[in-house]
Amino acid sequence: MHITIIGAGYVGLVTGACFSEFGVFVTCVDKDKNKVESLNQSVIPFYEPGLEELVKRNVRQGRLKFTTDIGEAVEESLVIFIAVGTPPRGDGSADLIYVDEVAKEIANHIKSYKVIVTKSTVPVGTGERIRKIISQHLREEIDFDIVSNPEFLREGAAIEDFMRPNRIVIGAKSQQAAAIMRDLYKPLYLIETPFVITNIETAELIKYASNSFLAAKISFINEMANLCEKVGADVNVVAKGMGLDGRIGSKFLHAGPGFGGSCFPKDTRALLKIASDNNIELGIVNAAVKANERQIMTVSEKIKSALNDVKGKTIAILGLSFKPNTDDIREAPAVSIIQNLLNAGANIKTYDPVAMDNAKAVLPQITYCSDAYEACEDADAVVILTEWNQFRNLELAKLMKILKQPYFFDLRNIYDPQKMKETGFKYYSVGRSL
Ligand code: UDX
Ligand code: UDX
């Protein structure tokens, strides 16, 4: 089978590379000419473990190619995935300008039956919107179907999540389109991956509901962490005790500085907008968003009050990406926390294994270092914001020597409070009183 993926970003590129690994012939279309050229050289424009090798192998074997020419790609494909960005607008709604543009371009080029699939996270009702746009712009009466096939890829684990998904969700009106999608996903079908086949609106909502629930879980444990600090409890043990209940599950109960990334913040806000457009109150999702905004402020205040006053003080920030194994700093808590500390007069030195180039565009005024120890040299405090593995075993004795003051803010709870105290640090974490 031959498919087209429109939008070679995180979602589109991983989806295209993984399908080509299944033996599908994939053409990835992107309007960004430079991106297309570097991808045809198998140069990946962002960090995603394993992706470069996957792209290289499938480009070499002729199953994966990149182009800016949407016409040729659409003509030779039976299935066309829309994986362009759906950035949030000021009011929280997802901006569908790129989706609309791509729908018109598809309409201008289809000459035979096609299945058009929304892979990007799109508001409920977007399938119908795309159907109308294509019908209006078709040059002749051509049969086509719309399918919603939302992605559940986690950055840093996207290939794993594609190859071994918990489920495949397919929203389709026509049996024929659903059958074609089953055929496309046959390799996963054979390993008994559960399929949820439903209507388009339901499939569109499953994605928002899943991400919003995960975000609510994180906000729940972050609020529990704040209470733990007051009552002398340990949030990690609370999370363990909760998670052993099969109905709760242990995942996504790690307290921290709040959730970031290009999905949870965007998808929760978009879902709230969809709800308010339909006069429905989603109090729990709203509370999760507000709790997340509070959490970022809470941890910033924790640093400022512990140091008494950060004005003129040097703070070493370890980790800028919104989570490990990605260079993505979109809505990363680190960006807000650093801006907060800069506003209070602090000097910031930082190190992140892969996200510093992206951060320089947003935070040009801070000092970027070549490793964690250079960042900590002469600093009044060290703050761990992203739990990269290389920050889990810092040489503590060396840190004690090079820090000007022994303040250690472990905002991802990766160190043992007792041990840190014994080493002589003024140690702070999230939800664990010493
Ligand atoms: C984003 C969101 O992060 C994700 O939650 C949503 O499901 C899909 O949109 P992502 O892959 O991260 O996914 O988007 P982005 O990294 O912005 O890549 C979008 C790509 O589409 C870019 O390469 C852009 O050049 C390309 N594009 C955009 C087109 O080719 N044509 C367009 O009209 C618009
Ligand atoms: C998420 C969803 O997991 C994925 O299914 C969806 O397709 C896209 O959005 P992603 O945004 O890449 O994936 O990151 P994820 O691993 O979910 O983490 C999101 C944020 O929550 C990160 O900032 C992370 O640090 C934070 N987080 C996650 C916590 O603070 N605590 C946790 O226990 C888990």
> Tens digit of pLDDT for each residue in 78-130?
999 999 999 989 999 999 999 999 999 999 999 999 999 999 999 999 999 99
Ligand 2 atom 13: residue of nearest CA = 154
CA of residue 11 to ligand 1 center, whole Å: 7
Residue 215 within a domain: no
Q: CA-CA distances (angstroms) from residue 24 to 4, 15, 109, 123, 215? A: 10, 11, 21, 28, 34
pLDDT at 192: 85
Provide the annotated active-site residues: 263
Whether 168 contacts 196, CB under 8 Å: yes
Does residue 190 surpass a pLDDT of 90?
no
> Which ligand approaches the C-alpha of residue 430 most closely?
2
- Rounded CA separation 317/376 (Å): 8
- Rounded CA separation 208/267 (Å): 6
Q: How many separate domains does the chain show?
A: 2
Q: What is the mean pLDDT of residues 58-68?
A: 97
CA of residue 7 to ligand 1 center, whole Å: 5
CA of residue 99 to ligand 1 center, whole Å: 9
Q: Same domain, yes or no, for 312 and 420?
A: yes
pLDDT at 394: 98
Cβ within 8 Å of residue 412, ≥6 positions away: 254, 256, 257, 319, 384, 385, 386, 387, 430
Q: Same domain, yes or no, for 151 and 23?
A: yes
Q: Same domain, yes or no, for 131 and 266?
A: no
> Which ligand approaches the C-alpha of residue 253 most closely?
2
Q: Same domain, yes or no, for 159 and 277?
A: no
Does residue 434 surpass a pLDDT of 80?
no
- Rounded CA separation 176/381 (Å): 61
Identify residue 110 by its one-letter amino acid code: I
Q: Same domain, yes or no, for 155 and 262?
A: no
Identify residue 348 by its one-letter amino acid code: I
Residue 419 within a domain: yes
Q: What is the mean pLDDT of the chain?
A: 96
pTM, whole model, 2 decimals? 0.94
Q: What is the mean pLDDT of residues 233-241?
A: 98
Residue 224 within a domain: no
Phi, psi (rounded to 5 degrees) for 25: -85, 120
Residue 217 within a domain: no
Question: What percent of the chain shows pLDDT beyond 70?
Answer: 100
pLDDT at 33: 97
The string over 284-307, giving b where at least 16 C-beta atoms fall within 10 Å of a residue's C-beta and e elsewhere, is ebbebbebbeebbebbbebbbeeb
What tens digit of pLDDT does each residue of 9-49 get? 999 999 999 999 999 999 999 999 999 999 999 999 999 99
Residue that the structure tokens 């970027």 belong to: 368
Q: CA-CA distances (angstroms) from residue 89 to 85, 269, 286? A: 12, 10, 17
Residue 155 within a domain: yes
Containing structural domain, residue 164: 2-198
pLDDT at 403: 98
CA of residue 156 to ligand 2 center, whole Å: 10
Q: Same domain, yes or no, for 253 and 190?
A: no
Q: Same domain, yes or no, for 157 and 241?
A: no
Last residue of a domain, one of 139, 174, 198: 198
Number of neighbours of residue 192 by Cβ within 10 angstroms = 7
Q: Same domain, yes or no, for 326 and 284?
A: yes
Q: What is the mean pLDDT of residues 273-293?
A: 98
Q: Which atom of ligand 1 is nearest to the CA of 46?
A: 16
- CATH number of domain containing 102: 3.40.50.720
Q: Same domain, yes or no, for 160 and 22?
A: yes
Identify residue 298 by its one-letter amino acid code: T
Residue that the structure tokens 């790609």 belong to: 73
CA of residue 129 to ligand 1 center, whole Å: 19
Q: CA-CA distances (angstroms) from residue 302 to 88, 237, 305, 306, 399? A: 30, 22, 5, 6, 21
Q: Same domain, yes or no, for 85 and 193?
A: yes
Q: What is the mean pLDDT of residues 239-251?
A: 98
Pairing of strands 168-172, 144-148: antiparallel
Residue from 259, 289, 388 to probe ligand 2 pocket by mutation (most atoms less than 8 Å from CB): 259
Residue 55 within a domain: yes
Ligand 2 atom 28: residue of nearest CA = 252
CA of residue 180 to ligand 1 center, whole Å: 24
Residue 214 within a domain: no
Ligand 1 site residues (CB inside 6 A) read 6-12, 30-32, 35, 84-86, 98, 101-102, 120-121, 151, 262-263
Last residue of a domain, one of 179, 198, 217: 198
Category of 358 on φ-ψ map: left (φ > 0), alpha (ψ -120 to 50) or beta: alpha
Residue 211 within a domain: no
Q: Same domain, yes or no, for 192 and 237?
A: no
Q: Which atom of ligand 2 is nearest to the CA of 256?
A: 30
Q: Same domain, yes or no, for 79 and 141?
A: yes
Ligand 2 site residues (CB inside 6 A) read 151-155, 211, 214, 218, 252-254, 256, 259-261, 263-264, 322-323
pLDDT at 342: 98
Residue from 30, 39, 46, 117 to probe ligand 1 pocket by mutation (most atoms less than 8 Å from CB): 30
pLDDT at 433: 80
Separation of first and last alpha carbons in the chain: 59
Q: What is the mean pLDDT of residues 157-185?
A: 96
Residue that the structure tokens 């043992």 belong to: 416
